Structure 1
Amino acid sequence: MKKALAILLAALTVSSLLMTGCGEKDEGNKDGEKKCRVVMICSALGDKSYYDIAYEGLKKAETDLGVEIKVAEIGTDKAKMEPAIQDVADAGYDIIFFGSTEYIPIIEKHQDEYKESKFVGFDIEPSTEIKMSNMFCITYMQNQVDFLAGALAQKMSKSGTIGFLGGTEGTIINDFLIGFIEGSLLANPKGKVASSYIGSWTDAAKGKEMALVQIKQLGADLLHPCAMGAGLGVIEACRDNGLWAIGVDADQREFFIDSKKDIADAILTSAMKRGDMVVYKVIKDELAGTQTYGSLEKWGLKEEAVGLAKNDYYKEHTPQEIQDYVDKVEGQLLDGSQQVFTAYGMSQDDFVAIREGVKP
């Protein structure tokens, strides 16, 4: 009997520990609440797009929800990814955000060591199998927002040739590109899309050089970079040549309006992947006890995880008939009457055929 009672008490103790999380009582805190500690691992802030917009969500959670936040910047050396995961997990952070599928096998390798932390991945490839009960991942449906970007770009183009510049070739970037091409073809079946890969996420000079090739040699008169920091060079090229750019991930005009107005004024709109919304929502739901784990979800226009930045500048410089057209196409994507291809699951031959089929 005593042995059975001891086993029961031990089980209850373990259960209590596993249930402890953000917002649970902490007798050592004078306010009686355990402050939720949240960290995001990234290469570096300052890209004015992908990680900076996610950081905005962290800051909002700090202000609105009272959580403690940290950003662990590790650079581009992949050898630093595993030590970074170990460091933040050992430090006892409640929620650990990461923005690359490459982190998942690293986390799985140490899953038995870090059962009390919650791991949240954003921009994760949709075929990824989530094997951990304390991991939740989001796949952005970037093909949807770039469908809108491509349709808008083609309607705004005078030459009928628009340009796309990715950081490096990969399924996520190609998913952007497929959407951009499909939207362009809807708006102008004879339209052309020049596409290039910069080969870097940080080399703005290379981004500008390749953008100038599209402008000067291929006749592209509106460019869309999907290249994080390297995309800033693309926007510079547009500024220098009096052309529009469509930004990516964040509302990039907002990031530059105070520091580099000339750059901001070259950005007609941006194809946003709302890392701020995703990060904030997960933290808020975790505090409310409603966040679920052990799965991957696809978030797109319907969930407001992606969308065009329809700010005042966009409205001022986009003719009303084109705004109405973009709104109509967005409604069709939302109600399912308009479909868009995705690079996920597409054969390389089919992808190349689509890309080359619109080459200037």
Structure 2
Amino acid sequence: MKKLMAMLLASAMLLSVALTGCGDDKDGGGKEGKLNSIVYVCSNLGDKSFCDVSWKGVQEGAKVNDISKVKCIEYGQDTKSKMEPTMVDATDTYDLIIASGGEMVEIVEKFWEDYPDKRFIIFDVDPLYENKMSNVFCINFKQNEGDFLAGALASKMSKTGTVGYVGAAEVVVIQDFMVGYIEGAVYANPNAKVAVSYIGNWSDSPKAKELANVQITVNNADVLHQVAGGAGLGMFQACLENGKKWAIGVDADQRDFFLETDPDLADVILTSMEKRVNVALLEAINKTYAGELSYGTLEKWGVGKQVTVLAENDFYKENVPADVQSYIDDLETKITNEEIEISSAYGMSTETYNALRDKVKP
């Protein structure tokens, strides 16, 4: 299989050289001796969350390094049939390939050796993963650290003592957010209750709204946090329609997305737990082009790297009491200094996970 792919790659490269002068900086727009093109492979742009903020980081990295050939390729929701061929096509065409998730790691494991001159940055990778691919750099985001801050803030801002969490699918990365959120909520208020609901996907916004409505009207939750990509927008609607309950967004500073188009909706988003993939990818791209990124490794970036933190925008500063802001700042320092131990869903047993969730059930 590898020999066949190598032969096909060699033929493709020869044809590319004959037709376009492959590797010529004039075509790629890159600096001399550097990689000349970047591609970001994702499901869909337009989620106002994870994919959009990731693409922003790729674009910034391309601009800073004077790379004109930069593209996003979307494979849609049909991951089983589209993800792998899309990734292979992207690798055939671009020098630096960027994608997210464990599934992408498994795909790249099949062919990375056949592309020794290509570079891969794969983020949102399992922290327990052992990266043995010499041209692949993996990033794990400590979203449990950032959501610890979100949970603590939710508890401090709650008047009922019950906060809500609406997740996408019950997969380990989303569970990792939840674990941090629950532990942060209980750290700030030992008697806190946390209503937890899972949508089952990243696209069903009406279902997210329905689940959030139940948390508000039945469980009495008055601060809700969504970790569900595009689907999570339904939770914001529920918060707005139920007397402007506070909402906490995810991945990007989601209030920004609605300031002009729907200011009423924007005004229920107290803050967001930013998973600053754009910041992380910009750094990774810059280091790649400087020849300083440690390919063949996995690094874990969290609060200490300022990539999983709360969006402390003007709205946050206006609506969160000063003493609560100081409390959150102090938690950030303690997490950075490893003075607070935060559990992770990665490697956690089902029994421990269920016990954590059940203990705070309203």
- TM-score normalised by the chain length of structure 1: 0.90
Structure 2: stretches of 5+ with no match in the other structure:
1-22
2:316 to 314, 317, 335: 314
Distance 1:95 1:147, change over 3 A: same
Is the 8 Å Cα contact of residues 31 and 65 (structure 2) preserved in structure 1?
no
| SS of residue in 1 equivalent to 2:112 | coil
- C-alpha spacing 1:196/1:26, structure 2 compared with 1 (3 Å): same
Could you tell me which of 285, 288, 298 is aligned with 2:300?
298
The alpha-carbon deviation at position 113 of structure 1 amounts to 2.4
Query: Residue 195 of structure 2 corresponds to which residue in structure 1?
Result: 194
State which of 336, 339, 347 in structure 2 corresponds to 1:337: 339
Task: Summarize the Cα distance change of 1:134–1:35 in structure 2 as closer, same or farther, 3 Å threshold.
Answer: closer
Between the aligned partners of 1:352 and 1:181, the Cα distance in structure 2 is 12
1:72 and 2:73 aligned? yes
CA offsets per residue over residues 190-240 of structure 1, 9 Å max, x none? 110000101110111111011101111111111000000010000111111
Note if 1:354 corresponds to 2:356: yes
Does the CA contact (< 8 Å) of 2:30 and 2:36 recur in 1?
no
How far apart in 2 are the matches of 1:60 and 1:197? 33
Give the secondary structure class of the aligned counterpart of 2:298: strand
Match of 1:328 in 2: 330
Secondary structure at 2:71 match in 1: strand
Q: CA deviation at 1:108?
A: 1.4
Show the 5 A alignment for 1:10-159: 26=24, 33=32, 36-67=36-67, 68-78=69-79, 79-91=81-93, 93-159=94-160
- The whole-number CA distance in structure 2 between the counterparts of 1:160 and 1:28 is 61
Tell me the secondary structure at the aligned position of residue 265 of structure 2: helix
Partner of 1:47, secondary structure, is coil
Q: Deviation string for 1:238-282 (max 9, x for gaps)?
A: 111211100001111112222222222111001011110111111
Equivalent position of 1:226 in the other structure = 227
Look up the equivalent residue of 1:314 and give its one-letter code: Y
2:271 aligns with one of 265, 269, 272:
269
Q: Residue 169 of structure 2 corresponds to which residue in structure 1? A: 168
Which of residues 246, 249, 252 in structure 2 aligns to 1:250? 252
Q: Report the equivalent of 1:205.
A: 206
2:113 is paired with a residue whose SS is: coil
> Retained in 2: the 8 A contact 1:53–1:250?
yes
Name the count of aligned residue pairs.
Answer: 336
| Corresponding residue to 2:286 among 268, 284, 296 | 284
User: Contact 1:193–1:358 at 8 Å: present in 2 too?
Assistant: yes
The Cα of 1:35 is off from its aligned counterpart by 6.3
CA distance in 2 between partners of 1:100 and 1:303 (Å):
20
Unaligned runs of 5+ in 1: 1-24
Q: Is the Cα contact below 8 Å between 2:35 and 2:289 reproduced in 1?
A: no
What is the TM-score normalised by the length of structure 2? Answer: 0.89
SS of the residue 1:313 aligns to: helix
Displacement of 1:340 in angstroms is 1.1
C-alpha separation in 2, matches of 1:333 and 1:27: 44
The higher radius of gyration belongs to 1
Counterpart contact for 1:35–1:66, Cα < 8 Å: no
Once the two structures are aligned, what percentage of the paired residues are identical?
46
Partner deviation per Cα, 1:260-308 (whole Å, 9 max, x = no partner): 2222211100101111011111111111111120011111111112111
CA RMSD of aligned residues (A): 1.7
Amino acid corresponding to residue 155 of structure 1 in structure 2: K
Q: 1:359 to 1:112 in 2, by over 3 A?
A: same
C-alpha distance in 2 between matches for 1:162 and 1:27: 54
Distance 1:228 1:31, change over 3 A: closer
Deviation at residue 352 of structure 1 after TM alignment: 0.3
- Determine helix, strand or coil for the equivalent of 1:302: helix
Question: For residues 174-189 of structure 1, what are the structure 2 equivalents within 5 Å?
Answer: 174-189=175-190
